[in-house]
Amino acid sequence: LYFNSVPFGENVYGVEAASRRFFGKPASRLQVQEAAVLVGMLKANTGFNPRLHPEASRGRRNTVLALMHEHGHLDTSERDSLQDLPLDLHYQGVDALDLYGYFVDRVSGQARDILAELTKPDGSAWDLRKDGLRVHTTLDTELQHLAAEAAREQLKAMQPRLDRQLAARKARRDWERGRKADERWKADVHGPRELVTEDGLRVDSISYRDSLWHYHRMLHAAVYAMEPGSGRVRAWVGGRHHRYLPYDLVRAERPVASTVKPLLYSAALEGGMDPCTYLDNRPRVYPELDDWAPANFDHDTTGGEVALWYALARSMNLPTVDLYFRTGTDTIRDVFEALGMPLDRVGKPAMSLGAVDASLERLVRAYGAFAMRGQVVEPVLIERITTAEGGELFKAPAKSKARRAITEPTAAAVALMLQRAVNEGTGTALRSKHGVRMTVGGKTGTSQDYADAWFVATQPGLVVGTWVGAMDPGVHFQGGDGTGSRLALPVVGSVLRGLERSAELRKRYLRPFDWPEAFDVDMDCDPRRQTSGLEELLEDLFDGREHGRHGPKPDYTKPEEPLRPKEDKPGLFERLFGKKKRKEG
């Protein structure tokens, strides 16, 4: 039991983990001289570390072999021949095993919680490390490698671009102000330091200040993939390097930007709107909200009215604000709660444009509803826990318990609108640049000042999401490189394209995404509808609204009457002279 939990340095515990770290194979396949190296490390796991101190390790190994000879486990010729052998390490470095570090942390916590509810036959508690227990997880190592490599390649491509922008606007000079009181800052000692880079760890002679700036200006990425039907978590990349940067960005809460829009549009549909409901696309200023003046990302798109489906596919802000006010916070709160999203920003109009802090883990789970007919499931990370002898202590159910969050017609409508976002909206790069061919829905997100970039793709077999940004929101791009479509989408695009190229992964995860077509989702309406100046004036008068500097005073708690589809809206002549009664509903 001791050998199963003893530390071997480098955050490695137990002979099994040490065998894989230093020799790249399970302990059962170790040669005598290799096992002697590990036994020798027990006296001083750093001093006799074969990677760091090969000569000391070899000498200690030979001492262990000599002791084995003295106790009759080796004859003289065996001892001599083994002592003459080199160490011959097959080191699986920290980088190789670090790939799973964030996931392992989360699994370890869950495993301890599960074991806390169980006892041994003698009534004593189980110990995850000392009892030699095995935890069988849901992680797909092939998909995990795809996700990690996709994140690494994107960061490697985009970090130099960010560095150039930061240099051009003298960001380091501004960052250094106010830090000179620190004694270490004043000393600014140079020395060899192991740094996390786009290509892994690198030892470099660098000053204290330079090392701080190195990490401050650094881009990070998180990737999370889950089966929306079973809840099995298949990929979990929480950051660049778990040992040096242990903060898990899969669970970090950041402003989700426009990735919140499908959730808001779900609430609008649940409240009675439909994809052909027309939304106001005219700019307004809201005096009662500190002169808040939302705008579309592309200012050329402003004016008139747009169909709800088009507003979501193009991620338009002004129509979404209109949708938010007319849906009402009660409906939004109900849908957000059902989807497992935070509720603290509900009731604040800026949430309509993404001023909602949530984790990638939560967001991916919520998007699963658009692939699974409106149902959400809890994530599953652990399949089984077994004893060293193979006895089963815990087994997860084949499917995580599903709970209805939104109706099937709403889920179908949003799924089809997200497919349009990929085919003709903000997610088209998924096809044009990354060659993804599967039927998939997706949504980009870009927070204020380009501080956070998001993309989530949803499909019945797998939901994949990513976040990209710096730890400090003040470190960001200025312009298009910081958008969700350029900074985050390529990560998911690489994962999905890699999945399509693998016959095994296709078999595991690709599922038909045609179920929404069984619902009568009408999107056969003009994307835009222009209104004349006189018509806008009459609408202002009839609706009690004043545009420009005098925005409406919406009721933040009660939904307004849903806007009618195009065919139900009376014409200008009818509203002037009242010749036709306006339809209700």
pLDDT in tens, 430-475: 999 999 999 999 999 999 999 999 999 999 999 999 999 999 999 9
- Say if 459 falls within a structural domain: no
- Say if 290 falls within a structural domain: yes
pLDDT one-digit tens code per residue, 86-118 = 999 998 765 666 889 999 999 999 999 999 999
- Count of structural domains, the chain: 2
Give pLDDT, residue 12. Answer: 82
Return the number of other C-beta atoms located less than 10 Å from residue 577's C-beta: 8
Nearest Cα neighbor of 284 from 544, 530, 528, 550 is 550
Q: Kindly report the average pLDDT of the chain as a whole number.
A: 89
pLDDT one-digit tens code per residue, 473-528 = 999 999 999 999 999 999 999 999 999 999 999 999 999 999 998 998 999 999 99
**C-alpha separations of 16 from 4, 5, 35, 304 in Å:** 7, 9, 11, 66
Give pLDDT, residue 298. Answer: 82
Print the domain residue range for 78.
Answer: 1-92
pLDDT band at 559 (very low <50, low <70, confident <90, very high): very low
The type of residue at 224 is: Y
Q: Indicate whether 553 pLDDT > 50.
A: no
- Say if 494 falls within a structural domain: no
Helices marked H in 340-376? 360-367
Q: Indicate whether 534 pLDDT > 70.
A: no
pTM over 0.85: no
Q: Measured on CA atoms in the order 164, 168, 174, 176, is the torsion positive or negative?
A: positive
Give the domain-ending residue among 41, 58, 92: 92
Give pLDDT, residue 210. Answer: 94
Mean pLDDT of 70-78: 96
**C-alpha separations of 553 from 217, 283, 547 in Å:** 42, 15, 11
CATH number, domain with residue 556 = 3.40.710.10
Q: Indicate whether 580 pLDDT > 70.
A: no
Give pLDDT, residue 537. Answer: 57
Give pLDDT, residue 417. Answer: 98
Q: How far apart are CA 456 and CA 489, in angstroms?
A: 8
pLDDT one-digit tens code per residue, 112-132 = 999 999 999 999 999 988 888
- Say if 246 falls within a structural domain: no
Half-sphere exposure of 379 (CA within 13 A, CB side): 28
Collapsing DSSP to helix, strand or coil, 539 comes out as: helix
Give the domain-ending residue among 35, 59, 92: 92
Give pLDDT, residue 532. Answer: 57
Strand-strand pairing, 190-197 and 392-395: unpaired
Higher pLDDT, residue 393 or 203: 393
Q: Indicate whether 254 pLDDT > 60.
A: yes
Q: Indicate whether 13 pLDDT > 90.
A: no
Strand-strand pairing, 402-404 and 375-377: antiparallel
Share of the chain above pLDDT 90, in %: 75
pLDDT band at 203 (very low <50, low <70, confident <90, very high): confident
Lowest average pLDDT, out of 75-79, 251-255, 301-305, 494-498, goes to: 301-305
Give pLDDT, residue 187. Answer: 84
Q: Indicate whether 262 pLDDT > 90.
A: yes
Q: Measured on CA atoms in the order 513, 514, 519, 524, is the torsion positive or negative?
A: positive
- Say if 178 falls within a structural domain: no
Helices marked H in 32-178? 32-41, 54-70, 76-83, 94-98, 101-115, 141-168, 171-176
- Say if 518 falls within a structural domain: no
Q: Tokens 């179920």 — which residue?
A: 515
pLDDT band at 242 (very low <50, low <70, confident <90, very high): very high
Give pLDDT, residue 446. Answer: 97
Check: CB of residue 354 under 8 Å from CB of residue 451: no
Residues 6+ apart with CB under 8 A from 40: 48, 57, 60, 61, 63, 64
- Say if 169 falls within a structural domain: no
CATH number, domain with residue 44 = 1.10.3810.10
Give the domain-ending residue among 92, 124, 155: 92
Mean pLDDT of 272-301: 92
- Say if 398 falls within a structural domain: no
